Amino acid sequence: MPHCPQCMSEYVEGTTECEDCRVPLNPGPPPESAVRAAKGEDLGNSKLVCVRRFNGATARLDADLARTLLQNQGIPCVLAGEVAAELLPVLDVPLLVREEDAERAAQLLTGYFDSPGPLPVE
């Protein structure tokens, strides 16, 4: 899949220009280090682990929400395959964090995504 050399977004085969940056696309996927740098994430040389997967029609929205939640708590993270999920919502979007942040990240995400909704009003 071609990618934008500026924002590192991936596109489907046959696309020749980045929709946002308006520059010609490079062939193949972007290098992982360039993706992290483009997103401003400081993941360093840490081992990355998946703390949650998002799939279905709302995968992109849920994944973006989770990323924002973790970043606001000071936990750097990256969404693997987020552009593919935007194009093909049936694909899953893994949320990756540094191994040392995994437990805290999982707790935050569980507390937000898995907590019961409000009780019905009688």
pTM score, whole prediction: 0.56
The domain in which residue 4 lies consists of: 1-30
Same domain, 47 and 100: yes
3-class secondary-structure state, position 98 = strand
Which residues on neighbouring strands pair with residue 79, listed in sequence order?
Answer: 95
Within a domain: 93: yes
Within a domain: 72: yes
Report DSSP state, residue 60. H
Same domain, 14 and 57: no
Same domain, 16 and 47: no
Same domain, 50 and 19: no
Domain count of the chain?
2
Q: Which two tokens stand for residue 1?
A: 């899949």
Mind listing the pLDDT tens digit for each residue in 24-80? 888 887 766 555 544 545 566 778 899 999 887 788 888 889 998 998 888 888 887
CATH of the domain at 83: 3.30.70.790
Residue 112 binned pLDDT confidence (cut-offs 50, 70, 90)? confident
Same domain, 14 and 52: no
Long-range CB contacts (within 8 A, 24+) of 80-84 = 80/50, 83/9, 83/10, 83/11, 84/1, 84/10
CB count, 10 Å around CB of 18? 20
Q: Are 63 and 79 in contact (CB under 8 A)?
A: yes
Within a domain: 118: no
Residues 6+ apart with CB under 8 A from 112: 66, 69
Within a domain: 74: yes
Mind listing the pLDDT tens digit for each residue in 93-102? 888 999 999 9
Same domain, 71 and 15: no
